[in-house]
A and B are shown apart, each in its own frame.
Chain A
């Protein structure tokens, strides 16, 4: 899959634009919900791997076909690990903190299925993604 030129790279990028839009603005054409889990060392140390596995299990159990779980790096909010970001089409991306294994079921139910919030775990990112917008 060697990319031979700038044009090829840009074409490839355009085809991948959708998920970025979902994460940045909550816009997507695919209807996929993304759940991002911070899987840096500190996240994993705080139990992110268990959270990750639990999420997969629940998604499978509940047959949520349009939910994708993605492991990402750390957000920097170490004292609030494990952190989970939920990106749903049409909603502002939301970040939840301290989503340990036992909070996952509730998160899926309240946030993904009922499109609500998981009250006390909800964080609001204190920074814009890419500096000055």
Chain B
């Protein structure tokens, strides 16, 4: 029997917009005409995750991949490829680097846009079955360093890999380990910071849920490198599944003696304890985290002394983030050189981003450092929902800022993001479209930071409150132009003089949006912005639906007569807009 052919046509959100439905119909039609229904199957698939190149057609089992297919190309694909078995060269993906057309999709540079190191096992192994982790070379890195490397050598590998902390700060991991290792005394601690607090970032949760053993293994490696025998995972209580998987993993690892005494016969002891966070963003800051682990309020302390000198129980402590740890077994197995070959000059390896907001493909992506924002938003993320206009991406969460259209082609790494007024943070990327009001967005973040402020130092405790109040005044159209000056002064002083990283970065969302979207602030300050929804008289048929849903009853009008919104009373909730079936209401 003739090898059966399958034609896969991308039907994801991104591709749907470009006629893929019509293509499927045409393909089916032509195959029927050719009486090849028994040999050829036409399938409309979900998203290929390749939206920038859509629509895409893949032909199996040849594993040939056509991109940017147009309706008029269908005939050629059928006659050339399906009937004659000849590849249509011009539709193959054009690899800009190799400058040659490639057929097999795994070889295409495009796919390398996503590269999984930290997420390598997520979705691939059963996180509750240690044997699956072992099958993918789990605990081999630990076994190797314990049998073949000295502690110093492990630190050298880490330094050579140029891995930097993925929690936000970007401090070189090897250096952190070295600083801790150098401290005198033999009571030291390794802490895994799993208190993922950035709203909209969930890569750490995903790793802990999908690949908990990799964290345990990396912590043990860290312990060996620094001379620490105890590890603590500080994890958000809001992540019950991750906690459960972590507990299971620890239990299993102990059964295999991957944790416990005399690991791999090396004489090195290491075990791990879990401590729960309890809902405090500031506990992502390492000194606050340590206070919390010690059973106190999560208030940060001044640095120096750094935890590497005086951390948990005043002993040398290294605090590393989940994603940072997740990279480590691969670095050991494949070498520092391999890792440092990925990424940009000062930012090596990959970074996981959590794509969310007004974007088609919401989810986690892991890309090499240096990938541009455009590639992430359009190629991987599939562009903006409903074909709206891209406005900005908020990165770094409450500590970060916005990246605007003009910087879409900036290669993403620690330094470049900082240079344009944002930051890597833990990797949250909230995509904003034309409908988003930047003053409202920064108000959202300030509300968050002032609510999450521990209250210890003056600038953060009172300053962020005052900033929030000014933003509230502005958005209520009760502000004045001088407010912008006060806001900016406050922002700078809070940034300069707060005690910890949370406070120092809390004004960033305001400073960044004030820089790129000052006109929006001015519109509020000068009260030239309209906060009210309006009804287009010509379109309104007087169905009364809007007036019935209006929570403040500011819409009036008789049945079958165009309605009117009392602009002074409108609270811009948008209920009328959602209710109107005649597109008769326009947003402010």
Contacts and interface: CB of A to CB of B under 8 A. Distances in A.
A in complex with B: yes
A13 B136 CA distance: 8
B8 A75 contact: no
Contacts of B366: 76, 127
Nearest to A14: B135
Contacts of A62: none
Given A5-B147, A9-B134, A9-B143, A73 B127 contact: yes
A97 B361 CA distance: 12
Nearest to B120: A130
A131 B106 contact: no
B147 A120 contact: no
Contacts of B365: 76
A73 B129 CA distance: 12
B139 interface: yes
Interface residues of A, number: 56
Interface string B24-64: 00000000000000000101111111100000001010010
Contacts of A120: 11, 44-46
A129 B209 contact: no
B48 A124 contact: yes
A85 B11 contact: no
A85 B380 CA distance: 20
B364 interface: yes
B139 A9 contact: yes
B123 A6 contact: no
B45 A5 contact: no
Interface in B383-425: none
A89 interface: no
Contacts of B364: 74, 76, 78
In this complex, which of A1, A38, A44, A132 has the most chain B Cβ atoms within 10 angstroms of its Cβ? A132
Contact of B49 (A2, A4, A98, A126): A126
B interface, how many residues as a size bin? 35 or more
A77 B363 contact: yes
Given A5-B147, A127-B114, A19 B46 contact: no
Contacts of B268: none
Interface in A43-83: 44, 70-80, 83
Contacts of B577: none
A21 to B, nearest CB: 9
Contacts of A79: 360-363
A128 interface: yes
Interface in B96-154: 105-106, 111-112, 114-117, 119-129, 131-132, 134-140, 143-144, 146-147
A131 B210 CA distance: 17
A9 to B, nearest CB: 5
A13 B209 CA distance: 22
Interface string A91-102: 010001110000
Contacts of A40: 122, 205-206, 209-210, 241
A111 B337 CA distance: 42
Interface in A1-27: 1-6, 9-10, 12-13, 16-17, 19-20, 23
In this complex, which of A13, A44, A97 has the most chain B Cβ atoms within 10 angstroms of its Cβ? A13
Identify the 6 closest CB pairs spanning chains A and B, nearest first. Answer: A73-B210, A126-B49, A76-B364, A75-B123, A127-B114, A2-B257
Interface of A: 1-6, 9-10, 12-13, 16-17, 19-20, 23, 36, 38-42, 44, 70-80, 83, 85, 92, 96-98, 116-117, 119-133
Given A41-B242, A76-B123, 10 more contacts: A2-B257, A4-B264, A19-B135, A73-B210, A75-B123, A97-B46, A98-B46, A124-B58, A127-B114, A131-B350
Interface of B: 6, 8, 11, 41, 43-50, 58, 60, 63, 105-106, 111-112, 114-117, 119-129, 131-132, 134-140, 143-144, 146-147, 202, 205-207, 209-211, 239, 241-242, 255-258, 264-265, 330, 342, 350, 360-366, 380
12 contacts: A5-B264, A20-B135, A38-B123, A72-B210, A73-B210, A116-B41, A120-B11, A123-B45, A124-B45, A124-B58, A127-B49, A127-B116
